[in-house]
Structure 1
Amino acid sequence: MSRYRTNTPKPLKELVKDFLDDVPYRKRLKRGMILSLWDETVGENIAQQTENLRFENSKLILNVKNPAWRHEIHMKRFSIAKKLNDQVGEKIIKEIIVRS
């Protein structure tokens, strides 16, 4: 608790990180953050084609409406995972599985 009580101001980003490190269900919270950041991160075209996003352990599973989009997202899965992990500041997604 002492790290929250200082006489010098800290950046809000650092305070939020400290708080999240203490939250008991931090990974679950960050998974929710990833799901809420999905549309913004992948863009409107991919977001419109994906549905039923969910986590199974460290795998992000999603369904697509069209097999052509499945291939497109499958090819970009590593860069998408990196962007999302970077946004939450932790490697939450270890693999993205795309199903049609």
Structure 2
Amino acid sequence: MSRYRSNSPKLLRDALKDFLDDYPHRKRLKRGMILSIWEQTVGERIAGETENIHFEHGNLVVHVKNPAWRQEIHMKRFSIAKKLNEKVGEKIIREIVVRS
């Protein structure tokens, strides 16, 4: 608790990072952050072709409406996972599983 009390000002991002590091449900929170930035990260077109995005055992599961888009997203899954993990500052996604 003493690390939150200080006489000197602290940047908000640093204070938030300190709080999240100690937050007991940090992974759950970051999973929610990933779901909320999905469209922003993959783009409107891919996001429009996906549905029922959720986590199963550390994997991000994405359901795709069209089999052609399934192949496209499957090929890009590593770069998408890397971008999402970078945006939340932690390796939350182990793998992206694409289902149709």
TM-score (norm 2): 0.96
1:81-96 counterparts in 2 under 5 A? 81-96=81-96
Give me the whole-angstrom Cα distance separating, in 1, the residues matched to 2:44 and 2:92.
23
Structure 2's unaligned 5+ residue stretches are none
1:70 maps to amino acid: R
Give the CA deviation at 1:3: 1.2
Which residue in 2 is equivalent to 1:18? 18
1:6, distance to aligned residue in structure 2 (A)? 1.5
Give 1:54's aligned amino acid: H
1:10, CA displacement in angstroms?
Answer: 1.7
State how many pairs are aligned: 100
Deviations 1:25-61 (A, max 9, x none): 1111110110001011100000000000010121000
CA distance in 1, matches of 2:86, 2:35: 14
Residue 27 of structure 1 corresponds to 27
Residue 45 of structure 2 corresponds to 45
Partner of 1:55: 55
- Superposed CA deviations along residues 56-97 of structure 1, whole A, max 9, x for unmatched, are 121000100111111111111011101110111110001000
Report the identity percentage: 72
Letter in 2 for 1:87: K
Stretches of structure 1 that go unaligned for 5 or more consecutive residues are: none
> Which amino acid letter does the alignment assign opposite residue 12 of structure 1?
L
Letter in 2 for 1:13: R
Q: Output the aligned Cα RMSD.
A: 0.8
Question: Normalization by structure 1: what TM-score?
Answer: 0.96
In 1, the alpha carbon distance for the partners of 2:71 and 2:9 equals 48
